[in-house]
Amino acid sequence: MTGILPITLEEARKIVQALLFSGKEYVCVMKLHGDASQNRVEAVLKEFENTIYQRPPLRASVKRQLRTRKIYYIDFMEMEGRNVLFKVGCEGGTYIRKLCFDIGEVLGCGAHMQELRRTRAGPFVEGEGTVTLHDVAYWFMEWQKQGDDKILRKIIQPMEKALALVPKIYIRDSAVDAICHGANLTAPGVLSLETNIQKDSLVAIFTLKGEAVALAKALASTEEILSMEHGMVAQTKRVLMPRGTYPKCWKSGET
**Is the pLDDT reported for residue 153 higher than 90?**
no
For residues 156 and 44, the model is more confident at 44
| Per-residue confidence (pLDDT) for residue 155, from 0 to 100 | 87
Domain residue limits at 41: 2-125
Position 255 scores a pLDDT of 42
Residue 253 located in a structural domain: no
| Residues 76, 103 within the same domain | yes
Model confidence at 250: pLDDT above 70: no
Residues 63 and 170 in one domain: no
Q: Same domain, yes or no, for 87 and 144?
A: no
Does residue 157 belong to any structural domain of this protein?
yes
Q: What is the pLDDT of residues 10-57, one digit of tens each?
A: 888 999 888 877 899 999 999 999 999 999 999 999 999 999 999 877
Which residues 6+ apart lie within 8 Å of 238 measured at CB? 14, 15, 17, 214, 215
Q: Give me the number of domains the chain comprises.
A: 3
Q: Are residues 120 and 207 in the same domain?
A: no
Question: What's the CATH number where 73 sits?
Answer: 3.30.2350.10
Cβ partners under 8 Å of residue 164, min gap 6:
122, 123
87-106 residue pLDDT tens: 999 998 899 999 999 999 99
Q: Residue 202 belongs to a domain with what CATH number?
A: 2.30.130.10
Residues 97 and 201 in one domain: no
- What is the rounded radius of gyration, in angstroms, for the C-alpha atoms of the chain? 22
